[in-house]
Amino acid sequence: MKNKKTILVYLSLFFILLFSIVIYLNEKNYEERVDLVLSNKLSKLETNYKIFMYNQKVLADNIFDDTMNIKSVLKILTQANETQDANKITLLRDELQKILEKKYSQIKAKGILQYHFVFPNNHVFLRMHKPSKFADDLTGIRQDFEYVNKHKKIVRGFSNGRTAHGFRNVYPIFNEQKQYLGAVEVSFSSELLQEYLQNISGIHSHFLINKSIFDSKAWERDDMVMKYFQSAENSDLMFHITSSHTHERCIVNNTKNLLHIKDKIAAKIKLKEKFVLHIPISIQSNVIAFYPVKQNITQDVVAWVVSYEYVRLIDTIYKDKNYILVSIFIFLLIVFYFFYKNITQQQLITQKSQEQERLLSLFDKGDSVLFKWKNDENWSVEHVSKSVETLLGYTVEEILQNKIPYSSSIHLDDLQTVIDEVKEGSKSKNDFFAHNPYRVITKDNKIKWVLDYTTIVRDVNGNIEYFIGYIVDISEQKNKERLLFEQSKLASMGEMIGNIAHQWRQPLSVISTSATGLQMQYQYGVLDKSTIPSICETINDNAQYLSTTIDDFRNFIKGERELKKFNIKDTITSFLHLVKPSIKSHNIDVILLMKDNIEIEGYENELQQCFINIFNNSKDALKELKDQEKLLFIEVLEEDENHIKIIFKDNGNGIDEAIIEKVFEPYFTTKHQSQGTGLGLHMTYNMITGGMHGKISIENVKYQYNTNIYYGAQINIILPKVYEDLD
């Protein structure tokens, strides 16, 4: 009896020790899994922030370039720098404001906050956003203007003024004689950033400003452009409430929700580095991420982008932790009992195996395929979820034993691209990259389209240890897109059938009249044999015309994707033959400028489809002209010894500059929904760039023809003379 008690005591002590270790390991595992989720959310915020900043940089650069290309702007700034006459400067300022008024209205709609010209001495020449305020000295207030005027270099980034903050791009201005004229600012607000995060990525965000960047009394001034409130996150930070925020949710509720982690936030903010925290008790948001924003000159952290998200996966992980803890506790009790009752070792192993299988099965549910592979030449797979059987048809064992390397299941045409994307992603400092959609071949030789997202795991030295990625099947979306392309071509074919019916009327009438006339002359005995050859020739000519029409339409409808050499003039002639009735019915005058002997290698049928799509867009524009000439120019010339250039130009009054950059996007159309799908020019863009390895662009042009001035859209196509397989 005493021996049993001793064993029971030892077993109890062992149980307590073992379960303490389990609690520690389980808690550590829980923290690691939550940290992985938090890290992904922080990476998501950082990636979206950087994408937004890059997009705004491109937009600001384009605005600056467009402004500098207006010669009258440089002329006015040059004159303003060369005079001391206040009245003349005022006139020049008013003139510049008038020139840029329409442009400012356009860029303001894109989110530009300030469009601001400053003299080399830091005195304001013109604020397009507040033209009534000028001539004030920004020395000591705007460090970015001082820096640009001193060093003649571009400055970008976040900064504050007297009454507002913003993401500013400040550019030095030189005239054609390289004379320095001052600086111009193109800036956008933090509100635009928050709208981008909300609308594009569904991220609810706050933009918090350090109190120290403005004068202490500035927060109470009436002339502040933006209204600020004490933030719920930290007492040293002020919060700018936008139209997407409410005081109740963002300040009152968050003050309560963040109460338990307020000290952690304060400590992390002092480090001035990005961080993310889990809000343990919250029904509104359970993940809060902070990304630092630095002042553009001093590089001090003066603001923070803060994202709030509710991630249900954390709740699932928490439930898993408790489930595992309870399961292991029960398991250890069972083991304790079996040890005490001298249960065999085999029963113990079986029980542990069952418990382990139940735990591992949690990671094999869902549609996405999870991979973990080494950073080696063979991409050796260390783990793959069972859902790989649904995607590829191969078992987990076949993948793990390298019987079928994942790289061998990638479509050969896409393999090099995938390899290059892995190399590029590995070179970057980011911990995450996404592949462009690519094709995989399943075990039963079916082709599927997938999206592939990869996280890079590095050691303390920054070396890549392994990759964790998940793959999603998007074949259904791709098939829908392909179906829409086919529908677009069927619409063109339907119009071609109508064209053929129209084209055949006259030649059929001629054949019928000639044959009937010949028959009647014969019946009444007045047939002149000398006229028979002429009549037969007329019938034959019209029959040959019908045959040519059939051949052109047959070649178009077959749609065979055959790589071959062809004469570009013959292709254009065939295309014009197909749309000839439409040209006639709309009174369009087609002017051809091309050589006879230009040959290229490519897909003729696809190129003809492109010409038809372009013609249809020009036709729709020309239909709007009332009692005016309707012109369509088609010009073919040699761009260089390896490329040709094809130009389509009309006089249909062009395309609105605000939307001209979008015409090649899918589903974008200027017509009513019932008149078009918006896929014609998008399909043309894909066939020219992807199918023919060429380039296509569109612009509005003003030109002279027969002493008259016309304005319209011009599409430029550049194609290689010899097709090269880029794969």
| 598-620 tens-digit pLDDT | 999 988 888 888 888 899 889 88
For residue 218, pLDDT beyond 50: no
Task: Report the candidate in 669, 664, 633, 634 with the shortest Cα–Cα distance to residue 651.
Answer: 633
What's CA 78's distance to the chain center, in Å? 40
pLDDT, one tens digit per residue, over 292-325 is 999 888 889 999 999 888 888 888 888 888 888 8
Please give the DSSP secondary-structure letter assigned to residue 243: T
Nearest-angstrom CA–CA distance, 194 and 200: 10
Nearest-angstrom CA–CA distance, 211 and 231: 11
Confidence of residue 225 (pLDDT cuts 50, 70, 90): very low
For residue 149, pLDDT beyond 90: yes
Task: Report the candidate in 302, 267, 273 with the shortest Cα–Cα distance to residue 290.
Answer: 273
For the record, the structure tokens of 71 come out as 């010669």
Mean of per-residue pLDDT scores for the chain: 80
pLDDT score at 581: 78
pLDDT, one tens digit per residue, over 417-441 is 788 888 888 877 777 777 777 888 9
For residue 378, pLDDT beyond 90: no
In this predicted structure, which of 55-69, 287-301, 532-546, 655-669 has the lowest mean pLDDT? 532-546
For the record, the structure tokens of 604 come out as 């003729």
| Alpha-carbon separation of residue 455 from 304, 332, 381, 426, 427 (angstroms) | 25, 36, 15, 10, 13
Alpha helices in 281-428 (DSSP H): 312-340, 345-360, 388-392, 396-400, 412-427
Q: Say if residues 373 and 455 touch (Cβ distance below 8 Å).
A: no
Written as one letter, the residue type at 458 is R
For residue 162, pLDDT beyond 50: yes
pLDDT score at 498: 53
Q: What angle do CA 211, 216, 217 make, to 5 degrees?
A: 130
pLDDT, one tens digit per residue, over 447-474 is 888 878 788 888 878 788 888 877 887 7
pLDDT, one tens digit per residue, over 340-367 is 665 445 544 455 556 545 544 545 666 6
Q: How many CA atoms lie within 13 A of 153 on its CB side?
A: 7
Written as one letter, the residue type at 416 is Q
Strand residues in 641-694 grouped as ranges (E): 643-650
Alpha helices in 202-235 (DSSP H): none
Nearest-angstrom CA–CA distance, 112 and 128: 11
Residue that wins the pLDDT comparison between 541 and 584: 584
Question: What are the CB-based long-range contacts (under 8 Å, 24+) for 509-515?
Answer: 510/538, 510/539, 510/542, 511/539, 511/542, 511/543, 514/538, 514/539, 515/539
Residue that wins the pLDDT comparison between 279 and 292: 292
pLDDT (mean) for 48-59: 91
- DSSP secondary structure, 475-493, as one string: HHHHHHHHHHHHHHHHHHH
